[in-house]
Amino acid sequence: MSRIKDIRATVDKKLDALEHQALALEAQLRQTKDQALQRLEERKQHLREVLKRVQAEVEKSKDTADQAKAEVKAKLERLEVQLALGKAEARDAFEDQRGKILNALSDFESAADQKLKGAAFESGRLWEELVGKASSLEAELDALKGRFEVEKVKQQEAMEAKKQEMLGKLETFKGQLKEKRKAVQERAGTLEKDLKDGLEQIKAGIRKLFE
């Protein structure tokens, strides 16, 4: 395994990742959606700050070829662009942003592992900080993903309940319409009979005139 993968595989970092997930889930339960989104923005900013230090170290490294530096820098800049995008408050926009961030992070880590092998950085803890901030961000992204999914289910349930309510109202309306139609028909039949009886009485009266 390469360097970042090695760090991620350590027991300490695995435990850190679990702690980050627990804290992120707790925040989702205690905070409003806006607060949770702001918390995510803070985690994105923390990772961006570490990435700036990584970029500075890469650029001044004498143990890395220029082409390798350029490739790593390109992946790093792509990741920074994704992290710099604003809040994604709608579920679909968030899902899109989450996917792009995680993809860019994975690509950057892979490039760094492959191209910066043996590079001597001044800060020996720089990669550990990177992994820590990345892990924290990943936890927030996963927790928010869960929140959006729960909200979607609630919306679907609410929509289904509303649908059933409207179907009930339609059934009631159709029943009322049927009764009204029947009442009108009955009244129409009575009216017709009254008219016929009246007409017959008139006819009978006329016949008596000529008897």
Contacts of residue 45, defined as CB under 8 A and 6 or more positions apart, other chains included, come to: 83
Residue 53 lies in a domain: yes
Cα–Cα dist 54/50, whole Å: 6
Check: pTM over 0.75? Answer yes or no: no
Query: Distances in Å between the alpha carbon of 204 and those of 97, 145, 192, 196?
Result: 91, 87, 18, 12
Distance CA 130, CA 134 (A): 6
Total count of domains within the chain: 1
Could you give the CA distance from residue 88 to residue 170 in angstroms, rounded to a whole number? 38
Distance in angstroms (rounded) separating the CA atoms of residues 91 and 68: 37
Q: Is residue 203 part of a domain?
A: no
Cβ atoms of 7 and 125 within 8 Å: the answer is: no
**Domain range for residue 12?**
3-159
Q: Residue 70 falls within a domain, yes or no?
A: yes
Q: How does pLDDT run along the chain (211 residues), one tens digit per residue?
A: 458 888 899 998 899 999 999 888 888 888 888 898 999 999 999 999 999 999 988 888 777 788 888 999 999 999 999 999 888 888 889 999 999 999 999 999 999 988 887 665 655 688 899 999 999 999 999 999 988 888 878 877 877 777 787 778 888 888 877 787 777 777 766 666 666 777 777 776 666 665 5
Alpha helices in the chain (DSSP H): 3-9, 11-30, 33-60, 66-84, 91-115, 126-209
Joined together, the tokens standing for residue 31 give 């905070």
Per-residue pLDDT tens digits for 174-206: 887 778 777 777 776 666 666 677 777 777 666
State the CATH number of the domain containing residue 81: 1.20.120
Contacts by 65-72, CB closer than 8 A, 24 or more apart:
68/115, 68/116, 69/115, 71/111, 71/115, 72/108, 72/111, 72/112, 72/115, 72/116
Task: Note whether residue 71 is domain-resident.
Answer: yes
Q: Residue 135 domain-assigned?
A: yes
Could you give the count of Cα atoms lying within 13 Å of 98 in the half-sphere of its Cβ? 20
In a domain, 186, yes or no: no
180 lies in some domain = no
The answer to whether position 36 is within a domain reads yes
Q: Could you report the per-residue pLDDT of 160-170, keeping only the tens digit for each?
A: 777 787 778 88
Burial of 166 by CB count in 10 Å (0-12 exposed, 13-18 middle, 19+ buried)? Answer: exposed
